Amino acid sequence: MNGFFAAQSLALNIVLGLSALVILVLSSNVAVKRLIGLAEYFHLSTTFMGVTVVSLATSIPEITAHLVASVGILRGTMDYEIGSAIVLGANIGSDVVQQTLIMGLVVFVTGALSFRRYFLWKSMGPMIGTTIMCLVLGWDRSYSRLDGLILFGTFIAYMYYLYVDERKHYKREDNVQEDSDAPKNGRQVAWWTVITLVAMGVAIFGAQIALNVTELIVVRTGISGSLIGVVLLGVASALPELTTAITGARHNAHGISLGTLVGSNITNPLVAIGGGALVSGYWVPRSLVHWDLPWEAVTGLILWGLLWITQGKLGKWGAFYLIILYFVYIFFRVVLFAAD
């Protein structure tokens, strides 16, 4: 644990941790906007952008948190079990938030979202599949480096499949958006790339502070690391997806909204957990395999079934049910699985 944070009062550390979360979210949003523009410059459809480029960008908080935690575990500056519980809880909590609460909020703000049937098979199917994969690999209460290789390798294979499919079916009108903001030439592309890298560097700094503070809170209060990850860090980590999805829907680019929310739930477990496990391996809290991951899989199946029945249209009543599902999840998580 960082000596600077250990020497400060709990109240000051909480303030520092919240400030770090703000920095993490704001810098991630900057990176997201620039990456969306770069994807438009290279003529990628809105749905492909959402599932791949934008979902990776909006997952920066989760990815950077896992990278920082894994390096800390290797160096011995972060406790193996506490660090694992925090980042895994934040990752899985973020996924549940996105496919229930945030999906519902986006619909309430925009009025409705429309899914194509092929989207349910090509994107939502893999989303549910990756959750089940994480549940199976983590059932022995650990993610080994081999598990990490399986998860990360699955992501690479899935991205290759999407890229081949995109080049085969891409139409220019799929990428038309109102008020499109993209670089116009190579110089602007280079400048936007620099801004993106700087923003990601700031996000890593914010993640480092947030993780150090969270570890200290766990040690001093005895609160479950995964519970803090699920309830607090999971919501904070999902804010880039919320703002990106609402912005996309308001500009009539539903592909970005849908692709971002679903794509992030593929990226988070495969890249963040898989990449982190490749670096250091993780200890998996009992609550994650007995409640969080099963609940994420069940809510994903409920969302898929709801969209299939309504022929791909999610209205306000469906959004209301999703939001209720989130609060049911949190209630029983706190009551039944408060400890790791």
Secondary structure element (H or E) that encloses residue 4, with its range: helix 3-6
The stretch 214-223 carries a mean pLDDT of: 69
Q: Give me the pLDDT at residue 41, please.
A: 74
- For 274-325, what is each residue's pLDDT tens digit? 999 999 999 999 999 999 999 999 988 888 888 788 777 778 888 888 889 9
Task: State the pLDDT at residue 50.
Answer: 62
Any idea how long the chain is? 340
* pLDDT (0 to 100) of residue 266: 87
Q: Which of 267, 207, 238 is nearest to 83 (CA)?
A: 207
For position 5, what pLDDT does the model report? 54
Domain count, the chain: 1
Contact 22, 239 (CB under 8 A): no
Percent of the chain with pLDDT over 90: 19
Mean pLDDT (the chain, rounded)? 78
C-beta separation of 300 from 265 below 8 A? yes
pLDDT of 189 > 80? The answer is yes
pTM of the model: 0.75
Return the higher-pLDDT residue of 88 and 338.
Answer: 88
- 290-309 CB burial, b ≥16 within 10 A, e <16: ebbbebbbebbebbbeebee
pLDDT one-digit tens code per residue, 4-63: 555 566 677 678 777 877 776 677 677 767 766 776 777 666 566 666 766 777 777 778
The burial of 284, by beta-carbon neighbours within 10 Å (0-12 exposed, 13-18 middle, 19 or more buried), is given as: buried
Q: How far is CA 114 from CA 107, 206, 238, 336, in A?
A: 10, 35, 21, 36
147 pLDDT more than 90: yes
Mean pLDDT score, 127-154: 94
> What span, in angstroms and rounded, lies between the C-alpha atoms of 121 and 123?
6
- Confidence class of residue 87 from pLDDT cuts 50, 70 and 90? confident
Domain that holds residue 130: 3-336
- Residue 20, helix vs strand vs coil: helix
Specify the CATH number for the domain of residue 287: 1.20.1420.30
